[in-house]
Structure 1
Amino acid sequence: MTAVSEITAAPPAAPPARRFRLSWQVALLGVLGLLIMMSVARVVTGANDITSAGTVGAALGLAVPIGLAALGGLWSERAGVVNIGLEGMMILGTWCGAWGGLVFGNPWAGVIAGAIGGALGGLLHAVVTVTFGVDHIISGVAINILGLGATQYLSKLVFTGMQGGGETQSPRIPPIGSVSVPGIGDGLQSVERAHLFLVSDLAGVLRGITQNVSLFTLLALVLVPVSFYVLWRTPFGLRLRSCGERPVAAESLGVNVYYYKYVAVLMSGALAGLGGAFLSIVASGIYREGQTGGRGFIGLAAMIFGNWRPGGLAGGALLFGYTDALQLRQGGTSVHALLLVVAMLLAAFAVYQLVKQRRGRAALISGVFAVAVFAVFSVTDTVAEQFTSFTPHLTTLLVLSLASQSLRMPAADGLPYRKGQAK
């Protein structure tokens, strides 16, 4: 009887799959693993620039405007307002940052002016979408067009006639200072030039993030944990995020949904404006028409890649900034070395999918792509110049396509809201 009952008994339920949670220990191990892969690629290909201090410093600088735009998108979308107008707000920030730095003779005045310029674009977006209920995408596209047209008109009006200025550019803007960690620069440089496995790569990364770092970059880095603390560790942030998840429920608990949406979109515009001000004041030292180069849209992609979280979007911004820096420094040679890193990453991802996630199909697809990328690396010596210039944008597309399966946007993001509505 016992044997029969054992045979007919239903099999035990499979334990629920453990959800992957990223801790700082796992993140640190991931960074170390990536650095080892890049060191292997450097030794194999001889492309020493992929981990040099110059590339790392350039990547950090190029990541700042993307990260600030992404942070702006995070504030807006966590409150339920889609902000496609980040590019236009960045454009306003570039012009206002240059204007403020020139008029007041102080670059920090330009930083404040850039934030105000972006916030004005955010205010317009909030009025149109929150108060009048216009579709968020239409409003964002209109702000992108308006930002470009307004700055073209203002440049002709203000900068024409100034010494060094013109219809499409401003005179030279006073620079913002930079800081370095004293006493370690020369030592790290010597270790980096020795081209030792892993040790020289680590020295190059450390020198890139500790020497000649702009004060504006430090400000941008501080804004990431500050945003996390405000949005996830304060009652204000809880109310703001509730407006992006369940605005009707938030209203029933006494939350002024309109107020929090306005604050979020204003902050979004201000942060995007700061990103624009960085481009004109720090990155180039001069305002030029079209200098945002689509970074507002790339920032939006970084925010989505980061799953609407500050840490994730910071990683996405660094990824896009690194690919941009790589193609600017050694072009085809460095990007060719990066193909080997991508092949190793795909192979590691395939093993993880097979061993930890038990997803044979996903592991097979990743393995096939790893083999294909390695084959391209093996049969080529460099990458065409046309491809290297497209690397940041291709990275954006690949990252979004690979990360799309595990993303969860705020539940009410982009949905119209009216006070007193039933649902």
Structure 2
Amino acid sequence: MSNGVTTAEAPFLEPKTQVRKRTFKLSWQTLLLALGGLVLLLSFTRTVTGAVDLTSAGAVNAAVALAVPIGLAGLGGLWSERAGVVNIGLEGMMIMGTWCGAWGALQFDNPWAGVVAGAIGGALGGLLHALATVTFGVDHIISGVAINILGLGVTQFLSKVTFAEMPGGGDSQSPPVPKPEVVSLPLVGEPLQWLGQKQWFLLSDVANILRGLVTNVSLLTILAILLVPLTYYVLWRTAFGLRLRSCGESPVAAESLGVNVYTYKYVAVVVSGALAGLGGAFLAQVAASAYREGQTSGRGFIGLAAMIFGNWRPGGLAAGAAMFGYTDALQLRRGGESVHALLLVVVVLLVGVAVYQLVRQNRTRAALVTGVAAIVVFVVFALTDTIPAEFTSVTPHITTLLVLSLAAQRLRPPAADGVPYRKGQGK
């Protein structure tokens, strides 16, 4: 086979597919089709409700900025779990990345030094997790929780001994840090703005979305987006990626073919930590202008949810991160009005899921439950004009729970994900 993959290794590309029939494949074509349908639905909802923020350039730009750290954490979880190591410690690694990212940028007066420092800080957390789980066989969940606690404690201590001594800093925050440069696509901003202001159905919405994607975009955002196709290429189109994934599917079989399972697991978990740390550096430098204690706000866990929603694939993961970032952006801008309008989108999506469950899956009971849920949401939408602020603040977390509950039927994690492995256990 090509790319250095031997014929003997080929059966371990996706071992479970030989036993379990895969009923649905989330391809790039499917994602693009779903994206087009979603834009059409948002345009319809914006026209009916008058909630312009649903497709405004500002909301889209904010959604991208909020989705990037979630996506980077999700990519970190993807690398780790594809090698068979559950990484609950992504939140702690992101916390380390926020502190290291701010410290590096201030120490060297260069934002990219902070980016590198943030990735190194997260990688150190990943190395510790790999040492505990791969070498010493510690339970993956226990090790991850310990790293979350350790990351929070270490950064609190380091802030008091470093940032508190700097002008403008304090015990729980850093002084303002240098930010990576922002860029805009030339010659298209003004025409897109003109078209967006017309409030035409679909055309104006597409123009506003495009303007939000191509104006005032941080270079670090572009780098993070490029990591998604790069991850896909490395893990699914190279011999290295095949061997790494074989460690998460059947490490005993991989070992029998000469794969050093420990080495691949170490590499995967360290890369996982580096990606999470990069997401933390993004929070400190782009999403905010300084390090602040608690600024990750559970994004490491939401990144894991995005990874699960994406069925342990980069494309689906990116879609999940974008969705979580979008709902977060709406509640931060005009929370009550925009989130209320989003209820109509939820109604249409629930109806579509119910029809799919009834027609394609022949699951009458599940379709009935989903249909009742759609009716309840529609009644809430019809009888109210806004959503209280107490509920809009938890919109991203509610979205996480709803998405995971609807996606649970098609999930297929790596077969040996979280399973302890000892060298030579297959002999």
TM-score between the two structures when normalised by the length of structure 1: 0.94
Q: Deviations over 1:315-342 (max 9, x none)?
A: 1100100000000000110000000000
Shift of 1:208: 0.7
What is aligned with 1:36? 40
Shift of 1:20: 3.0
Shift of 1:202: 0.7
User: Which segment is superposed worse, 102-111 or 348-357?
Assistant: 348-357
User: Which segment is superposed worse, 227-236 or 367-376?
Assistant: 367-376
User: 1 CA distance for matches of 2:393 and 2:423?
Assistant: 48
Matched residues, number: 408
User: 2 CA distance for matches of 1:59 and 1:140?
Assistant: 28
From 84, 104, 107, the counterpart of 1:103: 107
Q: Is the 8 A contact 2:336 2:387 kept in 1?
A: yes
Which amino acid is the alignment partner of residue 149 of structure 2?
A: I
From 62, 67, 74, the counterpart of 1:63: 67
User: 2 CA distance for matches of 1:42 and 1:83?
Assistant: 39
Do residues 282 (structure 1) and 286 (structure 2) align?
A: yes
Do residues 220 (structure 1) and 219 (structure 2) align?
A: no
What is aligned with 2:198? 194
Q: Which has the higher Rg, Structure 1 or Structure 2?
A: 1
What is aligned with 1:91? 95
Q: Deviations over 1:196-225 (max 9, x none)?
A: 111111111111111111100000000000
User: 1 CA distance for matches of 2:365 and 2:202?
Assistant: 34
User: Which segment is superposed worse, 291-300 or 17-26?
Assistant: 17-26
Shift of 1:362: 2.8
User: 1 CA distance for matches of 2:72 and 2:49?
Assistant: 34
Do residues 147 (structure 1) and 147 (structure 2) align?
A: no
From 240, 246, 268, the counterpart of 1:242: 246
TM superposition outliers: structure 1 runs of 4+ over 6 Å: none
What is aligned with 1:334? 338
What is aligned with 1:158? 162
SS of alignment partner, residue 418 of structure 1: coil
What is aligned with 1:233? 237
Q: Deviations over 1:177-208 (max 9, x none)?
A: 11111111111111111111111111111111
Shift of 1:34: 1.2
Task: Note the residue ranges of structure 2 that are not aligned, 5 or more in a row.
Answer: 1-20
Do residues 122 (structure 1) and 122 (structure 2) align?
A: no
What is aligned with 1:313? 317
Shift of 1:357: 3.1
Q: How does 1:247-326 map to 2 (within 5 A)?
A: 247-326=251-330
User: 2 CA distance for matches of 1:419 and 1:70?
Assistant: 28
Q: Deviations over 1:250-284 (max 9, x none)?
A: 00110000000000000000000000000001111
Which amino acid is the alignment partner of residue 124 of structure 1?
A: L
Do residues 347 (structure 1) and 351 (structure 2) align?
A: yes
Shift of 1:366: 2.1
Aligned-residue RMSD, C-alpha: 1.4
Shift of 1:18: 8.6
Shift of 1:94: 0.3
What is aligned with 2:380? 376
Q: Deviations over 1:93-124 (max 9, x none)?
A: 00000010001110000000000000000000
What is aligned with 2:51? 47
Do residues 211 (structure 1) and 215 (structure 2) align?
A: yes
Shift of 1:142: 0.5
SS of alignment partner, residue 160 of structure 1: helix
Which amino acid is the alignment partner of residue 126 of structure 1?
A: A
User: 1 CA distance for matches of 2:327 and 2:146?
Assistant: 30
User: 2 CA distance for matches of 1:271 and 1:52?
Assistant: 30
SS of alignment partner, residue 47 of structure 2: helix
Q: Percent identity?
A: 72
SS of alignment partner, residue 137 of structure 1: helix
Q: Is the 8 A contact 2:24 2:410 kept in 1?
A: no
Q: How does 1:381-400 map to 2 (within 5 A)?
A: 381-400=385-404
Shift of 1:30: 1.6
User: 2 CA distance for matches of 1:69 and 1:409?
Assistant: 17
Shift of 1:155: 0.5
What is aligned with 1:74? 78
Q: Is the 8 A contact 2:310 2:320 kept in 1?
A: yes
Q: Is the 8 A contact 2:85 2:248 kept in 1?
A: yes
What is aligned with 2:18? none
User: 1 CA distance for matches of 2:255 and 2:27?
Assistant: 34
Which amino acid is the alignment partner of residue 240 of structure 1?
A: L
User: 2 CA distance for matches of 1:52 and 1:299?
Assistant: 25
Q: Deviations over 1:341-399 (max 9, x none)?
A: 00011112222233333333332222221111111100111001100001001111111
User: 1 CA distance for matches of 2:175 and 2:59?
Assistant: 28
Task: Note the residue ranges of structure 1 that are not aligned, 5 or more in a row.
Answer: 1-16
Query: For the structure 1 residues 167 and 141, does the alpha-carbon distance in structure 2 shift closer, same or farther, using more than 3 Å as the test?
Result: same
Which amino acid is the alignment partner of residue 316 of structure 2?
A: G
Which amino acid is the alignment partner of residue 246 of structure 1?
A: S
